[in-house]
Structure 1
Amino acid sequence: MSKKSLIARQRKRIILVLIHSHNRYVYRTNGKDEKSFEKKLRIYSFLQKLPRNSLRCRLRNRCYVTGRSRGYFRTFGLSRHILRDMAHYGLLPGVTKASW
């Protein structure tokens, strides 16, 4: 189980990304399309004033059950430990645990 502070920090980042993603997109496209250097600097200064944690690259994939960030399977949203247990108990449809 991950620390609760890391999970809470991740939730805050998700909220910030959702709030500021449209503004970031607008500033970035306007900055690329602008011809004059002064206007471009002004647009990019607005972009720099947005919070750092509102970047999508700051998000980390975490297990839905435990919050573990390592060994994450995107198709299930689970870490490898939980995926193995759930497959063993037959809780994931279409997934079987190999045994030989």
Structure 2
Amino acid sequence: MSSKSTYTRNARVQKTIDKYAEIRKKMKEEGDYVGLTRLPRDASPTRQVNMCALTGRTKGYYRKFKISRNMLRKLALEGKIPGMRKASW
């Protein structure tokens, strides 16, 4: 499980992204890239980190399932993900 500070930082970044979304969109349409550099770093959507909903793992994250590869494999083997099973040939 990730530390609590990781979750709170990610939530703070998301809040900043939402706050500056309209301003960023307007600046991009106008081509004001100097103005974009003056915005806070956390206003950029690429600063947000995708984390596994179950473990908080950031690496090996599957967007479709919102979980990491480890948990995806575990849940698939337990039969908890409909239509997914381990391949064998």
**Both structures adopt the same fold (TM-score exceeding 0.5):** yes
| Percent identity of paired positions between Structure 1 and Structure 2 | 36
Off by >2 Å, runs of 4+ in structure 1 = 47-50, 97-100
Task: State the alpha-carbon separation in 2 of the partners of residues 50 and 94 from structure 1.
Answer: 45
Given that 1:63 and 1:78 are in contact with CA atoms closer than 8 Å, whether structure 2 keeps it comes out as yes
**Of 36, 56, 69, the match for 2:45:** 56
Aligned to 2:17: 17
Shift of 1:14: 1.1
d(CA) in 2 for partners of 1:76, 1:11: 20
TM-score if structure 1 supplies the norm length? Answer: 0.76
Normalising to structure 2: TM-score of the pair? 0.84
Question: In the TM superposition, what is the alpha-carbon distance from 1:99 to its structure 2 partner?
Answer: 5.8
Q: CA RMSD in A?
A: 2.0
Between structures 1 and 2, the one with greater helix share? 1
Which structure 2 segments of 5+ residues have no match?
none
Size of the aligned set, in residue pairs, is: 89
* Separation in structure 2 between the aligned mates of residue 12 and residue 66 of structure 1, nearest angstrom: 20
Name stretches of at least 5 consecutive residues in structure 1 with no aligned partner.
Answer: 33-39
